[in-house]
Structure 1
């Protein structure tokens, strides 16, 4: 078998193209966005994009794949240190917050994909969400129910959706949230996202805990 040669990709240029594409795909959608626009936004000759990607669809897949990789790496590293359901929730929400800091348009891009194309292009990312975010939380809650640490009436699937949805809404509803919090257009900063992430994790943990045993009167 003859080995194929793939030319080295200058990392900075490659990432700049992905950054520009992620922004434009999130704000405009896949169909209206052109290779020419992406090249101009990235500060490179549009023809150079074909050196890195076979076509616009290939570039789109690479953008989504980078989001999935960021999520997978962040979740895996944090889950290795988590044991209880509470720790799993904290780890997952922290990984979710860091994803949104590194890729602030990730949620918008995935939601737009699900609306415009019924997630035809985003299946790998959606699968990664299910495996890396939803499944560990649901499984940890189920185990916690068996030990009495988690409310017996809780549906792990719904509890997981409620947990993950907090940061999703925080990202999508920024115009409303800035008004509610009396913040300017620069909100949220990375620290703001982490602060809300800690709140979201604490809120979720408080909602799943089982009843505290009553002390016997002496």
Structure 2
């Protein structure tokens, strides 16, 4: 079947993004001219500027390709077992990060100098906090103070985010059950078990 012009346009744009992702990860955003991106993508330089008028637009488009962190808690939660539920969540987040290691590498690398990347990673962190909070509440329906749940969600999200930020230095990150992360999960589950909100006196 003959390819349409739309197919060709999509293919060229995709090749440009793949080339930009690879080159930004290799040499950094600022050190990569659009001419190198065009060469690697096998397209004229003018086509890069057609799709992405500014080089910054390439970085913005790559941010949008980050995998979605939103996970349905119903598929992860082990009722009454908070530690196992959190391990499952961390393993799922790890799997998604491992599926986009190159992209994650370059975005963590560029976050200090590009506000669009920094904003995207901050929003990503907030979504992970929300995910952890949802799993805690679904896994353990007992009464816990909201402030304690929020603190625990923030702590685990920080641990996950830090591990993902340095994952480029490892062949692959674990599945949520490696030593340091296992200790984080066990600590948080144990701490929450000990800080249940006091029962309200009967009226």
The TM-score with structure 2 as length reference comes to 0.67
| Contact persistence 1:138–1:160 (CA under 8 A) | no
Identify unmatched segments of 5+ residues in structure 1: 1-6, 175-187, 214-218
**Residue aligning to 2:119:** 123
* Correspondence list, 1:17-28, <5 A: 17-28=16-27
Identify unmatched segments of 5+ residues in structure 2: 195-203
**CA 1:96/1:14 → structure 2, altered by over 3 Å: closer, same or farther?**
farther
**CA 1:61/1:54 → structure 2, altered by over 3 Å: closer, same or farther?**
same
Residues 1:207 and 2:191 are matched in the alignment: no
* Correspondence list, 1:46-125, <5 A: 46-67=45-66, 70-72=67-69, 75-76=70-71, 78-83=72-77, 85-86=82-83, 89-117=86-114, 119-125=115-121
| Contact persistence 2:60–2:116 (CA under 8 A) | no
| Contact persistence 2:17–2:58 (CA under 8 A) | yes
**Residue aligning to 1:8:** 6
Farther-moved stretch of structure 1 (106-115 vs 80-89): 80-89
CA RMSD across the alignment: 3.5
Q: How many residues align?
A: 179
**Residue aligning to 1:216:** none
The TM-score with structure 1 as length reference comes to 0.64
| Contact persistence 1:39–1:46 (CA under 8 A) | yes
Distance 1:148 1:17 in 2: 52
